[in-house]
Amino acid sequence: MGTLKTERLVLRPMVDGDASSLAALAGEKEIAATTTNIPHPYTEQDARSWIATHASIEADGRGVHYGIEFVGHLVGVISLMVSPMHQRAELGYWIGKPYWNKGVASEAASAMLAHAFLDLGMHRVYAY
């Protein structure tokens, strides 16, 4: 999995060293309330366990997960969960509360949609 760049963002694979930042951002009640897979509280161990699943998900062609960097800091996550047989994917994302209302999600989603259609050959991408 490579890195995607936009004017202000870097979308990159997450590493174990991101667990602390990920837990701090995802640990906000508002994040858990607006996502289906993030519990509250969300611990550093939860983050490490989740990051550890990424390699097999990508290797199996079931999806990609990127950390979103803005002004040099991890600020959220964006993912595609892929159905290769149907050439479609579900787009999911969350942005840490301190970075809301800055256009980060829109910019990251635009880059991820381009990646889905142009690089991964998806025919349809949906989000809930």
Q: Looking at the 3D structure of the chain, how many domains does it have? A: 1
| Banded pLDDT at 1 (limits 50, 70, 90) | low
Q: Which domain holds residue 67?
A: 4-126
Mean pLDDT for the stretch of residues 5-20: 97
Decide if pLDDT at 110 tops 70. Answer: yes
Measured distance CA(70)–CA(77) in Å, rounded: 11
Sheet holding 63-70, edge to edge: 4-5, 9-12, 63-70, 73-83, 88-95, 124-126
Task: Check residue 36 and give its pLDDT.
Answer: 85
**Segment 60-103, tens digit of pLDDT:** 999 999 999 999 999 999 999 999 889 999 999 999 999 999 99
Which secondary structure element, helix H or strand E, spans residue 54, and what is its range? helix 54-59
Mean pLDDT for the stretch of residues 42-69: 95
Do 21 and 28 form a contact (C-beta atoms < 8 A)? no
Mean pLDDT for the stretch of residues 102-119: 97
Which CATH number is 28's domain given?
A: 3.40.630.30
Measured distance CA(71)–CA(87) in Å, rounded: 33
- pLDDT more than 70, % of the chain: 99
Task: Check residue 77 and give its pLDDT.
Answer: 98
Do 120 and 113 form a contact (C-beta atoms < 8 A)? no
Residue 83, token pair as written in the block: 């159905």
Give this prediction's pTM: 0.93
